[in-house]
């Protein structure tokens, strides 16, 4: 586990099963009084809240960054260099039981060591955690555990512990459930290794993380079925912030929705404007059954979108003002999920947490604490980086849009920021996807975003770059 303090933002990173999530610490105002952020953040204009503005100042918005035929090789490089994206269809038949019980027990141990609050305002005490431990039934895990493959059949939350109850670090931050790990859309592949005593929760490993998922939301399948489903062609990719899925061609019987970047096998229906997508359903025996569902043609792409700066900017702005969702709470997204779903529409498979995302692609610059502001600004003089570069600072990640008057801007999903207030500081709660200047936070103890950047990477082939050392 690593714990970071960044400008009032505490970031706790645990590799599997925990994902990287960021919260506002007491120094950042989350547990004290805070002010709502203005509709337009400091230094932005209304025109900057349109994708066309940034496409218009880009020198080559239609440049194909990675051709479609090279995407799989690029994704293999991502998997190799980060080591955190897994393919359940290639898992061995069994895992060591100690691997599964150790991870589950470690999660319980970590959470129970924190002074978290329950929904009724009381502390989560030893009795609360002993009940969960009893339900986890880890002593029943055998020495060798079969990896049962399955597909997600209903949008589902992945929990750190097998319970719907939420835990909070403060009763003033109840939108940050410390048991929320992530969420997964219909069609996500996974492997199941263990069930709670009552059978309601399953311990699972998905391509991006591991944790507990409700049994009613998965359908078991064979390895061959999973491979066929994940690689079937033709296919569509959801391109809206949320794409509605219906059970009839008239688009009246609503079934569910899929977030941006989901891939489904498809076929034409013969009805104008309607496409049939193949979805996994769970039958009465808990097995996966594939059936057709229907989507509006305008909400999907036939195959992946071309990877160009224009595409990424357009997709990112479809989520402008979308609410922040810690670990995908409430069907929304946090900073790293925002980046991940945008790039998934062009077929790029990024890791789930920001620290791992920051290892992907061609290094443009890596900063030390001593790197001065002008050296940092010099990096963003290259206008061609807009729409393809991700900007990482400890605990947060953003998409670079471009520079205006020498000032760099990004679009990102953020909780909030601090600003000077006389001799003190005040915290502005944003809680949504916004466009902002990298000078945000200037004049505070932690400084501007620009001065807190660690790396700038272009999401493209190549690993060379220039490191900006101390002056």
> Tens digit of pLDDT for each residue in 34-69?
789 999 999 999 999 999 999 999 999 999 999 999
> Tens digit of pLDDT for each residue in 348-396?
999 999 999 999 999 999 999 889 889 999 999 999 999 999 999 999 9
Contact 256, 242 (CB under 8 A): no
CA 297 to CA 313: how far, in whole Å? Answer: 21
Closest CA to 55 of 67, 66, 47, 45: 47
> Tens digit of pLDDT for each residue in 387-427?
999 999 999 999 999 999 999 999 999 999 999 999 999 99
Which whole-number Å values give the CA distances from 26 to 70, 74, 95, in the listed order? 46, 41, 41
23 has a pLDDT exceeding 50:
no
Q: DSSP string covering 342-394, please?
A: HHHTTT----SSHHHHTTSSEEEEEE-TT--HHHHHHHTT-GGGTTTEEEEET
> How many other C-beta atoms lie within 10 A of the C-beta of residue 133?
18
CA 184 to CA 203: how far, in whole Å? Answer: 14
Q: DSSP string covering 449-466, please?
A: HHHHEEEEEESSS----E
Residue 82 token pair: 């980060």
Q: Taking residues 213-224, what's their average pLDDT?
A: 98
Residues contacting 271, CB < 8 A, separation 6+:
249
Contact 62, 308 (CB under 8 A): yes
CA 110 to CA 409: how far, in whole Å? Answer: 38
Beta strands in 263-345 (DSSP E): 263-268, 274-282, 288-296, 300-302
Question: Of 138-142, 242-246, 466-470, which gets the smallest average pLDDT?
Answer: 466-470
Contact 387, 401 (CB under 8 A): yes
SS3 content of the chain, % helix, strand, coil (to 5): 25, 35, 40
> Tens digit of pLDDT for each residue in 148-164?
999 999 999 999 999 99
Closest CA to 309 of 20, 123, 51: 51
2 has a pLDDT exceeding 50:
no
Residue 167 token pair: 């835990």
466 has a pLDDT exceeding 50:
no
Task: Give the burial class of 92: count Cβ atoms within 10 A of its Cβ; 0-12 exposed, 13-18 middle, 19 or more buried.
Answer: exposed
The HSE-up count of residue 91 (CA atoms within 13 Å, CB side) is: 27
CA 216 to CA 226: how far, in whole Å? Answer: 18
CA 383 to CA 374: how far, in whole Å? Answer: 16
Bridge partners for 289 per DSSP = 281
Q: Specify the pLDDT at position 19.
A: 56
Q: Specify the pLDDT at position 470.
A: 38
Residue 76 token pair: 């293999």
Average per-residue pLDDT in the chain? 91
Beta strands across the sheet bearing 389-393: 35-36, 424-437, 407-421, 396-404, 389-393, 453-458, 362-367, 466-468
Q: Specify the pLDDT at position 33.
A: 61
CA trace torsion 314, 319, 321, 326 (10° rounding) = -150
Q: Cα 134 from chain centroid?
A: 31
> Tens digit of pLDDT for each residue in 85-109?
999 999 999 999 999 999 999 999 9
Q: Specify the pLDDT at position 29.
A: 46
239 vs 270, higher pLDDT: 239
> Tens digit of pLDDT for each residue in 68-77?
999 999 999 9
Closest CA to 437 of 42, 45, 28, 52: 42
CA 430 to CA 323: how far, in whole Å? Answer: 9
Q: Which position has the token pair 């599964």? A: 100
> Tens digit of pLDDT for each residue in 252-311?
999 999 999 999 999 888 888 999 999 999 999 999 999 999 999 999 999 999 999 999
Terminal Cα distance for the chain, rounded: 32
* Rg of the chain (C-alpha set): 22
Indicate the pairing of strand 35-36 with strand 424-437. Answer: parallel
């Amino acid at each position: 586990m690593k714990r970071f303090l960044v400008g009032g933002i505490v970031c706790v990173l645990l590799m599997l099963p925990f994902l990287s999530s960021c919260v506002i610490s007491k120094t950042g105002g989350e547990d004290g009084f805070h002010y709502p952020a203005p509709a337009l953040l400091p230094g932005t204009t209304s025109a900057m809240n349109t994708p066309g503005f940034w496409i218009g100042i880009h020198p080559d918005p239609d440049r194909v960054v990675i051709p479609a035929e090279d995407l799989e090789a690029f994704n293999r490089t991502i998997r190799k260099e980060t080591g955190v994206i897994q393919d359940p269809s290639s898992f061995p038949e069994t895992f060591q039981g100690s691997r599964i019980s150790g991870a589950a027990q470690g999660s319980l141990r970590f959470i129970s060591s924190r002074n978290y609050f329950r929904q009724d305002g009381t502390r989560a005490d030893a009795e609360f955690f002993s009940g969960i431990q009893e339900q986890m039934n880890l002593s029943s895990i055998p020495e060798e555990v079969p990896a049962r493959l399955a597909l997600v059949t209903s949008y589902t939350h992945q929990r750190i512990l097998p319970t719907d109850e939420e835990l909070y670090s403060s009763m003033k931050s109840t939108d940050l459930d410390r048991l929320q790990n992530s969420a997964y859309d219909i069609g996500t592949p996974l492997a199941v290794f263990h069930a709670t005593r009552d059978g309601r929760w399953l311990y699972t490993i998905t391509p991006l993380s591991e944790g507990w998922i409700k049994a009613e939301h998965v359908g078991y399948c064979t390895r061959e079925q999973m491979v066929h489903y994940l690689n079937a062609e033709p296919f569509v990719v959801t391109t809206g912030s949320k794409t509605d899925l219906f059970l009839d061609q008239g688009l009246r019987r609503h079934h569910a929705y899929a977030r941006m970047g989901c891939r489904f096998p498809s076929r034409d229906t013969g009805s104008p404007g309607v496409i049939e997508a193949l979805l996994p359903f769970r039958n009465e025996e808990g097995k996966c059954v594939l059936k057709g569902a229907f989507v509006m043609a305008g909400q999907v792409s036939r195959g992946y979108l071309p990877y160009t700066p224009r595409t990424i900017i357009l997709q990112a702005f479809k989520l402008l003002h979308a609410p922040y969702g810690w670990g995908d709470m409430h069907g929304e997204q946090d900073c790293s999920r925002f980046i991940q779903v945008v790039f998934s529409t062009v077929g790029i498979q990024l890791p789930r947490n920001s620290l791992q995302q920051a290892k992907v692609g061609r290094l443009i610059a890596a900063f030390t604490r001593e790197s001065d502001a002008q050296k940092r600004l010099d990096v963003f003089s290259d206008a061609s980086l807009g729409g393809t570069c991700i900007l990482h600072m400890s605990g947060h990640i953003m998409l670079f849009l471009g520079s205006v008057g020498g000032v760099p801007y990004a679009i990102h999903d953020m909780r909030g920021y601090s600003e000077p207030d006389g001799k003190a500081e005040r915290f502005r709660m944003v809680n949504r996807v916004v466009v902002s200047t990298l000078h945000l936070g200037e004049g505070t103890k932690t400084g501007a975003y620009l001065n807190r950047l660690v790396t700038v990477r272009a999401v493209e082939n190549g690993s060379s770059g220039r490191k900006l050392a101390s002056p």
